[in-house]
A and B are shown apart, each in its own frame.
Chain A
Amino acid sequence: MKKFKRLVCAVLAAGLAVGATGCVGTKVGQNDGRDADGNLHISIGGSPTERTKGNEKSYDMFMENKAKFEAENPGVIVDADGWSFDLENYMTKAEGGDLPTMYHTSPTEINNIVNNGYAADITDLVKKYGYDEMLNNEKYGKLYMRDGKYYGIVKDGSLYDMGIAYNVDLFKQAGLIDENGLPKFPQTWEELAETAKTIKDKTGKTGFAIASKSGQGGWHFMNIMWAYGADFMEQDENGKWKAIFASDEGVAALQYVKDLKWKYDVLQDELLADIQVGGRLLATNDCAMIITQRSMLDTYIEKYGLKASNVAMSRIPAGPAGRFSQVGANIWMFSGTDEQNELCLKWLDMIGEGPTVSEASKERMATNNEIKQEKGQIVGVRSANLWLNDERVNAEEEAMAPYRTVDSKFFDDYTNGEGVEYKFEPERCVQQLYAALDNAIQQVLLDENADCAAVLKQVQDDFQANFLDKEV
């Protein structure tokens, strides 16, 4: 037995010797990106890596740009990297020094990426290229800045905001169509519930589908809470963050969701759902309304065969406090050395993703629309843009015209967004907050006797204690 113990000790010691040799530091620019021939590589995340059926055009466009860029910048090689942001393997990629030089992600993740040292600070570059003069940081800085430093660039300058998507067929069946052939868009959340009820009564299909898991329930529910006047967190004078969403307004919003299930009974059977479920139900004509942003519809079209011609979108309904929609964007983030990151900015500029409208960018918009048309996705609806000026709007309209797949009247209400106030997601522990709200939604959807105030208070206390109070 003594021998055994000694052996265990030896093994432990060996394990420790192997184990305790970690290294500390930032993971940005881990290698200089030069290959054996001295060429400098940059890799662009989310690009087509192979010419396969269905993406010939995107691939050709990428290769064309690559050739042009490499000719303009001798000694530089542009690599396509098929990876696009995915929380599941983000960390392992970042730790393995395996991130593309440039990749896009959602604003939700920026805090974590920056705090863990994976994001390159591109403030100097942004200033050098004059992007900062074209940006309204006061309004949109939260999307790409932290502590006054730039960490990202909004992809394409395009923003997304939330609205309601409608299945036009089901509205027709329920007789909820106005003289222009448009669905009668509900103007308030209460109206939305009534409309959903009518749909359900007349067609037997789900009136309104909501998400309730994977953080996506909370993400959508946030818009309803704002409409009812709730806010999520605030900083006290010591700089400590306090969760404040269990207010009367927050409870009213939760009560609304509860009513959707227990008073109106208009929700889908699969109550534990992520946003894919709603998209699927919309596509198979099993549901009339979902909360979504426009770009998501393209995903549903590709994945579930949703018909672009059968969809309409309106701005988000109003609540007692007004109309509020979360605004987000795809953010390009960078992981290379300054030299590499600068080349990435040049690349963005060359392919016409920068703020200025050039021949290159017009051409790219047209090709993109052509690709979308081929896939049956939505062309003909402008998205909100960071770099909004007449020149840009005209260029976008021009590029859309030949490839239109939808009648823009079905989307006008959404695009005009009259009276919608944009809001950003809170700054702290956002993923955890979404998970907490998911939990609140699940509780009231599954229990007819749940007390909304108590549920929300409990969720808020847990969130405060487990996350906000433990922020480092």
Chain B
Amino acid sequence: MNKQIEKKTEGIITISDYKSPRVKIIYWVMVAFLVICSLTALVPIVWSFLSGFKELDEFYNVNPTIFPKSISFGKITDILRDLKFGRALINSMIQFGCSWFGNVIVGGIAGYTISRLKPRGSKLLFKLMLWTMMMPHTLSMVPMFMTWTDFPIIHINFQNTWIPFLIGSFCSIFNILLFKNYFDSIPNSYIESAKLDGCTNIGIFTRIIMPLSKPIISTITVFVFTSSWNDFMGPFLYLKKGSMATVALQLYNTTKNWTEPKQLLAAFIVLIPTIILFMFCSKQIMGNSMNVGVKE
């Protein structure tokens, strides 16, 4: 145990502090705190996942059990069929693609421009973006819907297209901010030396910035995936054709008349892709890539 502590290189407490028993106690209290919180996070999830397999009377039993009487995988295939999972999955992926393009490509370029190229007026734009980010959205839903169903001037209804998802993702200011701060933190010396080697702006971006940006890109990719995968409001408003329904929308549409255990099970089946992606990227996300300070 103590060997692990000796490897500790970061944080407020350092190895030298561990000589004092008081600090040792503090450390273990902290670990206990983490264990308790992790359990609080994990137990309801595991419990409700298992509950998804329960029958209705078992689910509402006066003496709740943890394990269902039987776990039948037939229930899972039934749910996948009822959700028309295959087609919904493709639609969700298209939505994610639109969202990813806007957030990572457009957002990344915007972040880079503001952070490194700094054209005249970009500081003002950045300030404006900060204000916009902090602006409440109490008013947005209905007017935005009006805009997309009868686009000003050209009067086109963009329902049943992916345009609202694509354009809507161009202005995820929070992610642009993450990009900007990340690019800010790349030492100038890298770029100076590349310039000396005769790199153009584009060269710098593709050869220096992009490879260095893997952590921030994967972080934002996971954020974007989680939010577009769980986004039900957007598809609910703009994708009215049954053949365009995404997983989240199908979940909402189909499960309304299901019993609670079946709803839970469906919700957790749908969760699996997110968890897989998260497991793959967790190292990147948890790294030092998400500084949200707003210094200009």
| A contacts B directly (C-beta below 8 A) | yes
Which single member of B81, B152, B240, B259 contacts A304 (CB below 8 Å)? B259
Smallest CB-CB A-B distances: 4 pairs: A284-B57, A21-B152, A96-B149, A18-B152
**List of A residues within 8 angstroms of B146 by Cβ:** 22, 95
A3-B124, A4-B124, A302-B257 are contacts. A18–B56 as well, Cβ < 8 Å? no
11 CB-based A-B contacts, threshold 8 Å: A7-B125, A11-B128, A18-B147, A18-B153, A23-B150, A52-B81, A89-B236, A95-B149, A96-B159, A97-B149, A280-B259
**How many whole Å from A250's CB to the nearest CB in chain B?**
34
A82-B242, A96-B159 are contacts. A4–B149 as well, Cβ < 8 Å? no
Interface residues of B (CB under 8 A from A): 56-57, 60, 81-82, 124-125, 127-128, 143, 145-147, 149-150, 152-153, 157, 159, 236-237, 240, 242, 257-259
Q: Is the CB of B259 within 8 A of A21?
A: no
**List of A residues within 8 angstroms of B125 by Cβ:** 7
Which single member of A52, A92, A304 contacts B237 (CB below 8 Å)? A92
Interface flag for A149 (CB, 8 Å): no
Interface flag for A137 (CB, 8 Å): no
A82-B242, A95-B146, A96-B240 are contacts. A8–B128 as well, Cβ < 8 Å? yes
**List of A residues within 8 angstroms of B128 by Cβ:** 4, 7-8, 11
Q: Is the CB of A21 within 8 A of B242?
A: no
**List of A residues within 8 angstroms of B258 by Cβ:** 303
**How many whole Å from A383's CB to the nearest CB in chain B?**
21
**List of B residues within 8 angstroms of A302 by Cβ:** 257
Interface flag for A299 (CB, 8 Å): yes
A-B contact count (CB 8 A): 60
Interface flag for A283 (CB, 8 Å): yes
**How many whole Å from B266's CB to the nearest CB in chain A?**
14
Which single member of A98, A283, A284, A299 contacts B240 (CB below 8 Å)? A98
Given contact pairs A98-B240, A285-B57, enumerate 5 new A-B contacts (beta carbons under 8 Å).
Answer: A4-B127, A21-B153, A92-B237, A96-B159, A284-B56
In this complex, the member of B237, B258, B259 whose beta carbon has the largest number of chain A beta carbons within 10 angstroms is B259
Grouping DSSP codes into helix (H, G, I), strand (E, B) and loop, the B interface class, with mixed when no group exceeds half, is helix
Q: Is the CB of B157 within 8 A of A19?
A: no
Residue of A with least CB distance to B257:
A303
CA distance A208 to B33 in the complex (A): 45
CA distance A22 to B124 in the complex (A): 31
**How many whole Å from A169's CB to the nearest CB in chain B?**
13
Residue of A with least CB distance to B60:
A284
Q: How large is the interface on A (under 10, 10 to 19, 20 to 34, 35 or more residues)?
A: 20 to 34
**How many whole Å from A129's CB to the nearest CB in chain B?**
31
**How many whole Å from A268's CB to the nearest CB in chain B?**
11
**How many whole Å from A270's CB to the nearest CB in chain B?**
10
A280-B60, A302-B257, A304-B259 are contacts. A95–B145 as well, Cβ < 8 Å? yes
Which single member of A8, A22, A89, A96 contacts B157 (CB below 8 Å)? A96
**How many whole Å from B224's CB to the nearest CB in chain A?**
25
Interface residues of A (CB under 8 A from B): 3-4, 7-8, 11, 17-19, 21-23, 49, 52-53, 82, 89, 92-93, 95-98, 280, 283-286, 299, 302-305
Residue of B with least CB distance to A17:
B152
Q: Is the CB of B57 within 8 A of A49?
A: no
**List of B residues within 8 angstroms of A299 by Cβ:** 257
CA distance A322 to B79 in the complex (A): 48
**List of B residues within 8 angstroms of A23 by Cβ:** 150
**List of A residues within 8 angstroms of B236 by Cβ:** 89, 92
In this complex, the member of B124, B236, B240 whose beta carbon has the largest number of chain A beta carbons within 10 angstroms is B240
**List of B residues within 8 angstroms of A304 by Cβ:** 56, 259
CA distance A19 to B124 in the complex (A): 24
CA distance A11 to B127 in the complex (A): 13
CA distance A98 to B145 in the complex (A): 13
**How many whole Å from A180's CB to the nearest CB in chain B?**
29
CA distance A390 to B82 in the complex (A): 42
**How many whole Å from A48's CB to the nearest CB in chain B?**
11
CA distance A328 to B145 in the complex (A): 33
**List of A residues within 8 angstroms of B237 by Cβ:** 92
**How many whole Å from B186's CB to the nearest CB in chain A?**
28
CA distance A283 to B81 in the complex (A): 26
**List of A residues within 8 angstroms of B56 by Cβ:** 280, 283-284, 304-305
**List of B residues within 8 angstroms of A283 by Cβ:** 56
Residue of A with least CB distance to B57:
A284
**How many whole Å from A248's CB to the nearest CB in chain B?**
40
Q: Is the CB of B159 within 8 A of A98?
A: yes
Which single member of A19, A284, A286 contacts B152 (CB below 8 Å)? A19
Which single member of B82, B124, B240 contacts A7 (CB below 8 Å)? B124
CA distance A92 to B237 in the complex (A): 7
CA distance A303 to B157 in the complex (A): 37
CA distance A424 to B236 in the complex (A): 33
**List of A residues within 8 angstroms of B157 by Cβ:** 96-97
CA distance A304 to B125 in the complex (A): 56
Residue of B with least CB distance to A204:
B62
**List of A residues within 8 angstroms of B147 by Cβ:** 18
Residue of B with least CB distance to A30:
B157
**List of B residues within 8 angstroms of A305 by Cβ:** 56, 259
